[in-house]
Amino acid sequence: MKKSLSPSEKYSVIEIALCGQDLHSREKEAAVALLTRSRMPERMHALTEHKGAYCLSCYTRSAKKVEEVRKKYRALRDRSFALKVKTLRRRDWFDKWKRDYHIRPLGTKFMIVPAWERSKFKQGRRIPVILEPGSAFGSGYHETTRLMTRMLESLKGKVGSFLDMGCGTGILSVVASKLGAREIVGFDNDRPSAIVARQNFKANGCEDETHKVSRACRGHRTPACEGGTFYWAQLKSLKTRRCFDTVGANLLSRVLLEYRDRIVARVKPGGYLLLSGIALQNFPGFKRGFSCPALTCLKILRGHRWVGVLYRRK
């Protein structure tokens, strides 16, 4: 009998890479702009540059997205960099993670530990967050994730029930659990990410640290567990009316603005809302657009290129 594959094994990942040698700053900016115009924002880009060799990559599972990039690339007058598209099988994806992904600090209290480097981690003052990528996106290295973690750390003992909007590999859900959250619910519009988040949550022993999560949310979920529930769902079609003590949304600023009312409605009165995914240059406009009578801004964290904002619902 043929063994059936789990969802995280079935889904391939498409790597889109723009590569060149000894590129000028103008040409590098053109590469970034090409992906950004294709609705692949800078926080999704991975850059490697060594001895003049430049490679800007991003990852997707959408063939339509690949065609959109190809169309814009063909329209360029100056093709100083090459477009390379490669479908990564699960083994290729793991090899890429293992080559580029190592133990690193996260916030002031945590340490990201890839599952294959667990034996290298030395117990100390930092709390390990064990991560296995599966077929999911999200390494925890991005500045927006670090900003979200710092805001969660400031709420230690106050997190209560936590809703992770766009959970990715489940990093923030694990952090929230380690900071004392009693209930965790997460969802992502990428089905393999929701599955991998559930697996990482379990691998970090979070099931033993939280109470059973309510089944009030509806969606395409992975099997229910004692510690956390993770869904495959779209924000625009999320049907739950349940409210949470803390809501985290590390999403694109345009998505945050478009669904502001829907996001705010999931926060309990007196609860907290953590946002990131906001480019530094876009923040003034974002702050005006997201402002509403129900929210009080408690904290603004500015990174090198991104901003995190902590609100409290009145």
- Distances in Å between the Cα of 20 and the Cα atoms of 24, 59, 71 are 10, 18, 19
CATH class of the domain defined by 152-313: alpha beta
- Residue 79: how many other CB atoms lie within 10 Å: 13
Looking at residue 89, what is its pLDDT?
77
Q: How far apart are CA 228 and CA 231, in angstroms?
A: 10
Looking at residue 217, what is its pLDDT?
40
What residue spans in the chain does CATH classification 3.30.70.260 cover? 7-92
Percent of the chain with pLDDT over 70: 85
Place 214 in a pLDDT band, splitting at 50, 70 and 90. Answer: very low
Name the residue with tokens 């053109």.
30
The predicted model gives 63-92 an average pLDDT of: 88
Do residues 184 and 178 touch, judged by C-beta distance below 8 A? Answer: no
The predicted model gives 158-163 an average pLDDT of: 95
108 has a pLDDT exceeding 90: yes
227 has a pLDDT exceeding 80: no
CA atoms within 13 A on the CB side of 290: 30
Looking at residue 272, what is its pLDDT?
98
Contacts of 196 (CB under 8 A, 6+ apart): 8, 132, 133, 134, 135, 136, 169, 170
Looking at residue 236, what is its pLDDT?
87
More confident residue, 223 or 230: 230
Q: Give the range with max mean pLDDT: 40-44, 89-93, 285-289, 302-306.
A: 285-289
Distance of CA 131 to the CA centre of its chain: 13
2 has a pLDDT exceeding 70: no
CATH class of the domain defined by 7-92: alpha beta
What residue spans in the chain does CATH classification 3.40.50.150 cover? 152-313
Specify burial of residue 141 (Cβ count, 10 A radius: 0-12, 13-18, 19+): middle
Do residues 80 and 27 touch, judged by C-beta distance below 8 A? Answer: yes
Q: How far apart are CA 201 and CA 205, in angstroms?
A: 7
The predicted model gives 74-84 an average pLDDT of: 91
Report the chain's mean pLDDT, rounded to a whole number.
Answer: 84
Give the pTM: 0.74
DSSP state of 237: G
Query: Which DSSP string do the residues of 272-286 spell out, in sequence order?
Result: EEEEEEEEGGGHHHH
Contacts of 53 (CB under 8 A, 6+ apart): 19, 21
More confident residue, 42 or 104: 104
Nearest CA to 14 among 54, 62, 47, 48? Answer: 62
Six token digits for residue 300? 């603004």
Percent of the chain with pLDDT over 90: 50
Distance of CA 141 to the CA centre of its chain: 10
